[in-house]
Amino acid sequence: MNTRLKKIGISVVTAMWIGSTAVFASPTLQTGSHGHDVLLLQKKLQAVGYTISSVDGIYGLETERAVAEFQRDNKIKITGIVNNATWRALKKAKKVEWGSNVPKPATQPATKPGSDVLTSRGPLAPNNQPILAQNKVNALLKTARSYIGVPYQFGGATPKAFDCSGYLQYVFAKNGINIPRTADEQYKLGLRTKNSRQLVPGDLVFFTTYEAGASHCGIYLGNDEFIHASSSKGVRVDTLNDSYWAPRYLGGKHIVK
């Protein structure tokens, strides 16, 4: 049967996508895999809202991360490896739409009239010391929560779409604090904590995801929760003990004075 499929130029996975009534064994894909099936996987992940910037048929770190996040969101064992259960869930997956399962984010006024871009941020916050006054924490967290539901986009830095570090930079700028643009530079802010129990609301949390070091970031809310721009669901609240985030937790930075 597989030989016949190859002769007519249809892969095993393609047969699944086009809704064939025949039952085929789906291929296991993981880091190092390449070819047409990986290309289909990347296109499907992208179509249902997961960030894949390079749809190239090569199963790299970005694809592995997107698969792991999809598995987490669909309560599949998180391995980063595409197995039968993952293929079945992908076949049924639909893209998140405003007004259905994600509330539309609240509209926030921008610094520049008619624009979401913050044009004036002042001097850059210093590294290795607290930068957020205690009496400003509630306002900052309120700003952060007001963007829940804003979609993710790599390079996004406005309420139209955020990436993780663009979201933090925007939220802090709205509260008069200018922080660096990238997660690895933001990791230089504040004082390192020994464990999450030392964190207070308003502090920063960092994770290692698609590359070594600080490659993802969020704002700590208390009770082991943090808010961040997730590449799968946009701005949302997650927990530090989540099965996806816990093993990727790099550390927290205490920035509250």
Residue-by-residue DSSP string for 162-190: E-HHHHHHHHHHHTT-B--SSHHHHTTSS
187 and 80 share a domain? no
Q: Which position among 34, 36, 216, 254 bears the catalytic label?
A: 216
Inside any domain, residue 124 = no
Q: Which position among 34, 36, 228, 254 bears the catalytic label?
A: 228
State the Rg of the chain over Cα: 20
CB contact burial 7-39 (16+ within 10 A = b; e otherwise): eeeebbbebbeeeeeeebebbebeeebeeebbb
Q: Which position among 34, 164, 217, 254 bears the catalytic label?
A: 164
78 and 139 share a domain? no
What's residue 253's pLDDT?
A: 96
Inside any domain, residue 16 = yes
159 and 245 share a domain? yes
63 and 147 share a domain? no
What's residue 96's pLDDT?
A: 56
149 and 204 share a domain? yes
Inside any domain, residue 30 = yes
Inside any domain, residue 106 = no
What's residue 8's pLDDT?
A: 37
Inside any domain, residue 53 = yes
143 and 196 share a domain? yes
160 and 221 share a domain? yes
What's residue 94's pLDDT?
A: 77
Find the mean pLDDT for residues 162-175.
Answer: 95
- We report the CATH number of the domain holding residue 140 as 3.90.1720.10
Inside any domain, residue 120 = no
Count of structural domains, the chain: 2
139 and 200 share a domain? yes
What's residue 65's pLDDT?
A: 82
* Residue ending a domain, choose from 26, 59, 92: 92
pLDDT digits (tens, 9 = 90+) for 49-78: 787 878 888 998 888 888 888 888 888 888
Compute how many other C-beta atoms are within 10 angstroms of the C-beta atom of residue 47. Answer: 13
pLDDT, averaged across the chain: 81
**Which element (helix H / strand E) includes 192?**
strand 191-192
Please indicate whether residue 34 is annotated as part of the active site. Answer: no
250 and 183 share a domain? yes
Find the mean pLDDT for residues 159-182.
Answer: 94
What's residue 115's pLDDT?
A: 52
| CA distance linking residue 12 with residue 170, whole number of Å | 45
Please indicate whether residue 164 is annotated as part of the active site. Answer: yes
pLDDT digits (tens, 9 = 90+) for 213-232: 899 999 999 999 999 999 88
Cβ neighbours of residue 157 closer than 8 Å, sequence gap 6 or more: 117, 163, 166, 167, 169, 170, 181
159 and 225 share a domain? yes
pLDDT at 1 over 60: no
pLDDT at 3 over 60: no
Tell me the backbone φ, ψ of residue 252, rounded to 5 degrees. Answer: -110, 155
Expressed as residue numbers, the domain containing 145 is: 134-254
Please indicate whether residue 216 is annotated as part of the active site. Answer: yes
162 and 67 share a domain? no
Cα–Cα distances in angstroms (integers) from residue 191 to residues 28, 129, 159, in the given order: 43, 6, 29
Which of the given ranges, 9-23, 181-195, 216-230, has the highest pLDDT on average? 216-230
Cβ neighbours of residue 179 closer than 8 Å, sequence gap 6 or more: 124, 125, 131, 168, 169, 172, 173, 186, 189
What's residue 70's pLDDT?
A: 85
Tell me what percent of the residues of the chain surpass a pLDDT of 70. 79
